[in-house]
Amino acid sequence: MTIYSFPKWMRDLTEEDLIFIKRFLLASGSLKEIAKEYSVTYPTVRVRLNRLIEKIKLTDTDIEDPYIGLIKRMVIDEQIEFDAARVLISEYKKQKGDS
């Protein structure tokens, strides 16, 4: 089985995301157990899981443009701020003539 036979949402995950999912599954979905393993609080793990869910949802939806999808993933991964992403997407659409 090659990486290309995996669904797109799986291929777009980082190694860190995949490790988190593996640990989550091995802990039978217990966020408390994951919090202990990572030595963080339950709310911290919940935020991480929510980000991962959003990343998967974003990949599952048909995004009209890969660039816009990249910007949205960067927001989810906290690589850029939401306001900056909104400006980038808006300007990009203007340049393409979508607005």
- For residue 92, being part of any structural domain is answered with yes
pLDDT per 10-residue tile (average), the chain, 99 residues: 71 89 96 96 95 81 75 85 88 82
Whether residue 52 is found in the same domain as residue 87: no
Q: Are residues 72 and 56 in the same domain?
A: no
The predicted structure's pLDDT at residue 61:
63
Please indicate, yes or no, whether residues 15 and 50 belong to a single structural domain of this protein: yes
Same domain, 15 and 37: yes
DSSP 27-90: TTT-HHHHHHHHTS-HHHHHHHHHHHHHHHHHHHS--S-HHHHHHHHHHHTTSS-HHHHHHHHH
Domain that holds residue 81: 62-99
State whether 37 and 25 are in the same domain.
Answer: yes
Which pLDDT score is estimated for 66? 83
For residue 1, being part of any structural domain is answered with no
In-domain check, residue 18: yes
What angle do helix axes 66-76 and 82-96 make, rounded to 10 degrees?
Answer: 170
**Total domains, the chain:** 2
52 with 68, same domain? no
Could you tell me if 54 and 73 lie in one domain?
Answer: no
